[in-house]
């Protein structure tokens, strides 16, 4: 899809350098793809941290005393 956007020269140069791409379009597509992938990974991590753990601190402490839980 063809579109027109305004991007600062410094930002575009840095995107090209970091992506290792020669053309502006390739650098922008790579940067957008990386950004989307990063946001997906961050959302996954956030959802994992929002879930309750299957055990409590007391359970872990009790299991360690019984040598059933490794640390």
Q: What percent of the chain has pLDDT over 90?
A: 58
Higher pLDDT, 47 or 52: 47
Radius of gyration of the chain (CA): 23
* pTM of the model as a whole: 0.63
CA distance 25 to 58: 55
Query: 């957008």: which residue's tokens?
Result: 32
With 80 as the cut, is the pLDDT of residue 5 above it? Answer: yes
56-71 pLDDT, tens digit each: 778 777 777 766 555 5
21-50 pLDDT, tens digit each: 999 999 999 999 999 999 999 999 988 888
């Amino acid at each position: 899809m063809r579109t027109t956007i305004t991007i600062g020269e410094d930002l575009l140069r840095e995107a090209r350098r970091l992506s290792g791409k020669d053309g502006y379009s390739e650098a922008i597509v790579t940067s957008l793809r990386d950004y989307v992938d990063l946001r997906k990974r961050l959302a996954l991590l956030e959802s994992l941290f929002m879930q309750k753990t299957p055990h409590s601190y007391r359970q872990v402490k009790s299991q360690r005393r019984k040598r059933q839980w490794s640390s």
